[in-house]
């Protein structure tokens, strides 16, 4: 039930000091940071910018890190795993939320008109063939498509162009040009951010040779956090979905620093706390339910607030959460958006285990 990014992280719980535990913990930290950033919705602008510097790039880096060299001689196996792990969840959950659109519209989760049968079939076709047109409640699903195309194109770079330095420069240049001219490949909508994803993927593969975070001491960790906070405070906001052409190179460099920072934090947690290691590894191995359902759970919280008279019913359609200052409800959004999907996973595995006995 996880986003298929790293196949090796099944080793995490058996050996908490293994580097793949660091990776899994880093994934867990970043998916939780994503939910928190969506919950606070920019009410803490500097922290918001800090999180957006690295929380999504890390998953591309991890995908490259976990790329197995055996796939260089078995391309079909790699492509099938990518399709099963990224395309299929996109289509499966995209179809589920599409069929529920009119029901959610009735609940005031959306504004607009109901879908006809023709609308549903039209959107379903584009979900399956172009991986676009998913519902707003699946807002984070752009990541699945970009990771799919980034990893497939990254495969060819790794196989045929090796680790030449100019490849990194070329990917940054192409990504910058795509963003500058607002260019995209028609229908599949490959954009500048996809080339940024390829940059992170190929870099992750190069880092896999090290089997450790490049930031490997506490002094460098503190310096990195300080540098990224300075960037969050003094530089214009940037993220993979919304970035100016001149921000591409500095953003990518900051994203790599941030990714290494989180991986190193993962290594510290793995060495210091078995409880946190087990918990965050579980989160890191179940990112898909959180990615899929956290926006819907935000709506459930807002619906409860409408019920108790805390907000107006018109606020139900506001995305992702009610626009207000940081308060206790921000914490409630975060907790339900992250804990409930994980609780459902636990319940699912419990009944699966009971039924198999």
Mean confidence (pLDDT) of the chain = 91
Helix axes 57-65, 19-40, angle to 10 degrees: 160
Rg of the chain (C-alpha set): 20
Q: How far is CA 246 from CA 84, 172, 227, 250, in A?
A: 36, 11, 19, 8
How far apart CA 25 and CA 200 sit, in angstroms, is 19
Q: What is the pLDDT, as a whole number, of residue 10?
A: 41
Residue 17 pLDDT > 60:
no
How far apart CA 328 and CA 339 sit, in angstroms, is 16
Q: How far is CA 311 from CA 107, 314, 331, in A?
A: 15, 8, 16
Q: What is the pLDDT, as a whole number, of residue 48?
A: 97
CA atoms within 13 A on the CB side of 112: 14
Q: What are 340-357's pLDDT values in tens digits? A: 999 999 999 999 888 887
Higher-pLDDT residue of 267, 9: 267
Q: What is the pLDDT, as a whole number, of residue 5?
A: 58
Percent of the chain with pLDDT over 70: 93
Confidence of residue 78 (pLDDT cuts 50, 70, 90): very high
Q: What are 191-216's pLDDT values in tens digits? A: 999 999 999 999 999 888 776 666 67
CA max distance for the chain: 61
Q: What is the pLDDT, as a whole number, of residue 8?
A: 45
Residue 16 pLDDT > 60:
no
pTM exceeding 0.85: yes
Confidence of residue 161 (pLDDT cuts 50, 70, 90): confident
Residue 344 lies in a domain: yes
For the chain, what is the domain count? Answer: 1
Mean pLDDT (whole number) for 217-243: 92
Q: What is the pLDDT, as a whole number, of residue 102?
A: 98
Q: C-alpha angle 271/217/214, rounded to 5°?
A: 95
Q: What is the pLDDT, as a whole number, of residue 211?
A: 62
Q: How far is CA 144 from CA 139, 160, 230, 326, 335, in A?
A: 11, 24, 30, 30, 24
Mean pLDDT (whole number) for 215-238: 90
Three-class secondary structure of residue 132 per DSSP: coil
Q: What are 121-131's pLDDT values in tens digits? A: 999 999 999 99
Q: State residue 323 phi and psi, 5-degree precision.
A: -80, 110
Residue 1 lies in a domain: no
Mean pLDDT (whole number) for 108-137: 96
Q: How far is CA 306 from CA 107, 120, 187, 194, 300, in A?
A: 12, 29, 39, 39, 10
Q: What is the pLDDT, as a whole number, of residue 178?
A: 94
Residue numbers of the domain that contains 195 = 7-356
Residue 222 lies in a domain: yes
Q: C-alpha angle 54/233/283, rounded to 5°?
A: 30
């Amino acid at each position: 039930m996880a986003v298929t990014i790293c196949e090796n992280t099944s080793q995490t719980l058996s050996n908490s000091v293994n580097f793949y535990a660091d990776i899994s913990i880093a994934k867990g930290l970043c998916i939780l940071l994503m939910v928190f950033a969506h919950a606070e919705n920019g009410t803490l602008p500097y922290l918001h910018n800090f999180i957006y510097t690295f929380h999504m790039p890390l998953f591309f880096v991890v995908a490259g890190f976990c790329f197995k060299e055996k796939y260089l001689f078995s391309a079909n196996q790699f492509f099938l795993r990518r399709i099963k792990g990224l395309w299929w969840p996109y289509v499966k959950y995209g179809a589920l939320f599409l069929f529920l659109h009119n029901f959610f519209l009735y609940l005031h989760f959306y504004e607009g008109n109901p879908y006809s049968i023709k609308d549903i079939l039209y959107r379903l076709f584009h979900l399956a063939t172009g991986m676009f047109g998913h519902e707003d409640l699946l807002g984070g699903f752009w990541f699945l498509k970009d990771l799919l195309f980034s990893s497939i194109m990254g495969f060819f770079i790794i196989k045929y162009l090796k680790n030449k330095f100019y490849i990194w420069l070329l990917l940054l240049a192409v990504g910058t040009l795509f963003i500058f001219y607002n260019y995209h490949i028609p229908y599949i909508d490959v954009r500048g951010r996809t080339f940024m994803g390829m940059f992170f993927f190929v870099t992750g593969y190069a880092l896999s040779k090290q089997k450790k975070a490049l930031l490997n001491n506490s002094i460098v960790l503190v310096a990195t956090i300080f540098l990224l906070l300075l960037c969050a405070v003094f530089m214009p906001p940037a993220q993979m979905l919304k970035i100016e052409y001149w921000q591409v190179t500095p953003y990518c460099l900051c994203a790599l620093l941030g990714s290494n920072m989180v991986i190193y934090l993962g290594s510290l947690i793995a060495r210091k706390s078995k409880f946190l290691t087990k918990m965050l590894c579980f989160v890191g191995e179940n990112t898909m339910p959180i990615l899929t359902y956290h926006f819907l759970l935000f709506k459930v919280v807002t619906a409860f607030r409408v019920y108790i008279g805390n907000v107006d019913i018109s606020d139900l359609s506001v995305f992702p959460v009610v626009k207000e200052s940081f308060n206790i409800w921000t914490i409630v959004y975060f907790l339900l958006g992250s804990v409930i999907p994980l609780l459902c996973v636990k319940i699912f595995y419990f009944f699966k285990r009971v039924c198999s006995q």
